[in-house]
Structure 1
């Protein structure tokens, strides 16, 4: 029997974006229905950010044991119990799960229905035996691994981010198709834990990042034994579990490689299937649903949040979208404008690679007048103390000293990028960095030092020396 439910807001998807809207709206007294057909917490908690950082932490611990000699400690080759690595990953997920659980959200007054939602009209969604009629809807169904049309792939067992963290036995030789953030993070984690790893990338690794800083990542991965093969275009796969052959073309030569496991890391696709968006008058493409600057779809009563909108696919962007939706939907703010172009991104390899705003290539393409300021980690005392000198900061400074963007490669780059994200989002000038006093000795000093490097050519120029000489008359 169909159950009729009336609500202020119906949210489809309980990932970062959906949960954030549900929390905010329920706390503001709205009647909220939240639909989720899979696991609460979505991709980030269960298959993405959380488990990937957990396995990276395990790999980093193993590598620290190998590299202990530089600290005066006897190094040792770690003995890796991969089942316990699996247990570690899932214990981290379990520790965070209560925050995203059905019980927590029901305790906040949210009506959680564990069913898929599909539109049956412009203001109604069906979920199982329930039909929800709401004033507003939020689509936050996220994205999933894109599976490329590779010959033979359907006949061979392969891994994606949704299943790789369920492995309890260590891959002997992991072949990763795709050299983006997911592919590289998994390559280093598994290599450090003892697997042989080959990465096949059709173009260049981390192609959206600054090539100058990507080179630091490339060199370190290669030094640790990851077999990086760029410009390798995969044509077919064959074999069976534990014995898989991947055929590819590189530099005009047909080649093949054998491994025990394949991980597909060739990007993401928006989760559109089964939503019946046409019935709600919502325009979409394979990239995602069409939204305006206020994140409204072509049905103005329906919003989109996170990966489903076809923009930057990051958990922090989904959370940011949720805040904008709350501002516009409930506070009726006329000033809401999606500024996700200011969102930083980080690839959590070692050394980390972080970026915000414009790269040098983007500044060139936009016709910006800019200059570049750089600073190396080997000029930072804390980095020297921790043998973490393999890194640098590259800031892009526009007209009048405005910060256009910054890229950082090095230890804790994901944390060090935060002040640059603040500067880009608020239109700050580089002088904001020279004005601050950075504690010593910290890695954070590199941000102040690169700002100083921007002014160095002017400060120590002939004109400045002439000015100082003139002013000395008044001594």
Structure 2
């Protein structure tokens, strides 16, 4: 998906100057899909193939597998494999909602949309989360008429409200994007293309579309005869403890299959933890969620770290929200990027959470994530010598400005005001 988003962003920067742009977007879409395929092939050729793992002494089997004992699995051809420890990393699949008529239409998911070769005239997206927003906006950048229908009252409901509002404002500048909130999909029919019926409150309506994308979340791949190995699970996840062990102490589970959070970087981190626990006997607990960061690669790009304001308020945790607008960051001004940085800090100045909207938000968040992981105060970032002009320098200036704020009411406030004008760029 990131390869498609990259291509869409590049095309978006030039398409307004192209005539006739509709025909050119069709050709650009084809090339973008070819680029996606090329990216996948490159990854597979480099490090996602049998030879790569075999060279590291790893035996690879391509087969369905089921547990046939407490420490035993049976492959599809009858081969039985035993081991002292197992790690389940079967990931997840698109969660398909139960909607009348949905199974009678050829809908897309985030796994199949990249098989498109021709640009569709229209696309309806069910789901206003990261996948729906990323792919919906990317398709809109190629001139597709996009409708996003969400059951929530805003996009990206896991993110801060201002992040949702910024993305909504961006999407509403597109003449070919329609957003529908608080909606319940009632049925789907395939007559004359695809028609989606929905209701918002007491009002019913319908939308006709050429393609339908289901982006309503993920469900764990648990069809492994887990009960045979005494592993507890639900219809969504495998149950684990804080050391990633299942209810069978010899078997661990990581990533999407144990409830996530559903991110590649989380699964990779858990893989290291589970391997150390299983093979080295370490009792390393999984990383606390307050260190979790994620990014949504829309325009504007949105990154999140740790807690949000709602969760802190619910927990009655005292905090201060520090915010800076991108217009005070020279690099953002030069790039004509709009956005903001918001950091939530406790009374000691330690970072509890953060949200960045705009620019290379995901890359910028790495600075704050490192500071949080190391237990640094936010103001400590003001002492880092960052290159200028960069977005990282903007984070430094932001933190430096907070360091100066402690003197605002003292006898040195005039000097502080001068320094603030110099620092906050």
Residues in 2 aligned to 1:77 and 1:386: alpha-carbon distance in whole angstroms: 25
Distance between the aligned counterparts of 1:432 and 1:327, measured in 2?
A: 33
State the match for 2:325 in structure 1: 376
Alpha-carbon separation, structure 1, partners of 2:107 and 2:128: 16
SS at match of 1:350: coil
Counterparts of 1:103 and 1:466 in 2: how far apart (Å)? 66
Contact 2:73 2:82 in 1 (8 A): yes
CA distance in 1: counterparts of 2:182 and 2:148, whole angstroms: 11
- Aligned counterpart for 2:279 among listed residues 330, 333, 336: 330
Q: Look up the SS of the partner of 1:126 in the other structure.
A: strand
More strand by share: 1
Counterpart of 1:367 in structure 2 is 316
Once the two structures are superposed, what CA deviation does each residue of 1:32-62 show, in whole Å capped at 9, x if it has no partner? xxxxxxxxxxxxxxxxxxxx01111111111
User: Is 1:209 aligned to residue 164 of structure 2?
Assistant: no
Number of corresponding residues: 409
Looking at structure 2, the residues matched to 284 and 463 of structure 1 have their Cα atoms a distance apart, in angstroms, of 63
Cα 1:67/1:382, change in 2 over 3 Å: farther
Q: State the 1:103 CA deviation.
A: 1.4
Query: Are residues 1:84 and 2:31 paired?
Result: yes
| Aligned equivalents of 2:290, 2:319: Cα separation in 1 | 19
Aligned equivalent of 1:228, options 173, 179, 182: 179
Matches within 5 A, 1:7-156: 52-66=1-15, 77=21, 79-80=24-25, 81=27, 82-98=29-45, 99-128=47-76, 129-156=78-105
Corresponding residue number in structure 2 for 1:438 = 386
Shift of 1:456: 5.1
The structure 1 residue matched to 2:350, chosen from 382, 385, 402, is: 402
Q: Would you say 1:424 and 2:372 are equivalent positions?
A: yes
Q: Do the aligned partners of 2:156 and 2:164 also contact (CA within 8 Å) in 1? A: yes
In structure 2, the CA distance between the partners of 1:252 and 1:465, relative to structure 1 (3 Å rule), is same
Q: Give the corresponding residue for 2:422.
A: none
**Normalised by the size of structure 1, how large is the TM-score?**
0.82
What SS does the aligned partner of 2:391 have? coil
- Supply the distance in 2 between the matched residues of 1:425 and 1:307 (Cα, whole angstroms): 23
User: Which residue is 2:423 aligned to?
Assistant: none
Structure 1 distance, partners of 2:133, 2:71, is: 43
Deviations 1:122-178 (A, max 9, x none): 010001221001010010000111111111111122111121100111111100000
CA contact (8 A) 2:260 2:267 kept: no
Q: Following superposition of structure 1 onto structure 2, how do residues 251-262 of structure 1 map, counting pairs within 5 Å?
A: 251-262=201-212
Q: Given that residues 301 and 360 in structure 2 are in contact (C-alpha distance below 8 angstroms), is that contact kept between their aligned partners in structure 1?
A: yes
Q: Which has the higher contact order (CA 8 A, sep 6+)?
A: 1
Structure 1 residues 236 and 454: CA distance shift in structure 2, 3 A = farther
Q: 1:145–1:269: 8 Å Cα contact kept in structure 2?
A: yes
Mean Cα displacement is larger for which, 219-228 or 136-145?
Answer: 219-228
In the alignment, the residues of structure 1 paired with residue 414 and residue 391 of structure 2 have an alpha-carbon distance, to the nearest angstrom, of: 35
Q: Is the 8 A contact 1:183 1:199 kept in 2?
A: yes
Say if 1:272 and 1:334 are closer, same or farther in 2 by CA, change over 3 A: closer
Once the two structures are superposed, the pairs formed by residues 132-211 of structure 1 within 5 Å of their partners are 132-203=81-152, 204-211=154-161
Instruction: Note if 1:413 corresponds to 2:361.
Output: yes
- In structure 1, stretches of 5+ residues that fail to align are 1-51, 69-73, 469-475
C-alpha deviation, 1:465, in angstroms? 4.4
Secondary structure (helix, strand or coil) at the match of 2:169 reads: helix
Contact map agreement 1:374 1:453 (CA 8 A) in 2: no
C-alpha deviation, 1:363, in angstroms: 1.3
- 1:278-311 C-alpha deviation (Å, 9 max, x unpaired): 1101111123111111111111110101100113
Aligned residue for 1:285, secondary structure, equals: coil
Shift of 1:213: 2.1
Aligned equivalents of 1:334, 1:239: Cα separation in 2: 53
Query: How has the CA–CA distance of structure 1 residues 353 and 76 changed in structure 2, closer, same or farther, with 3 Å as cutoff?
Result: farther
Deviations 1:261-291 (A, max 9, x none): 1100011111112x01111011111231111
8 Å CA contact 2:89, 2:253 repeated in 1: yes
TM-score, normalised by the number of residues in structure 2: 0.92
Going from structure 1 to structure 2, the CA distance change for 1:455 and 1:361 (only over 3 Å counts) comes to farther
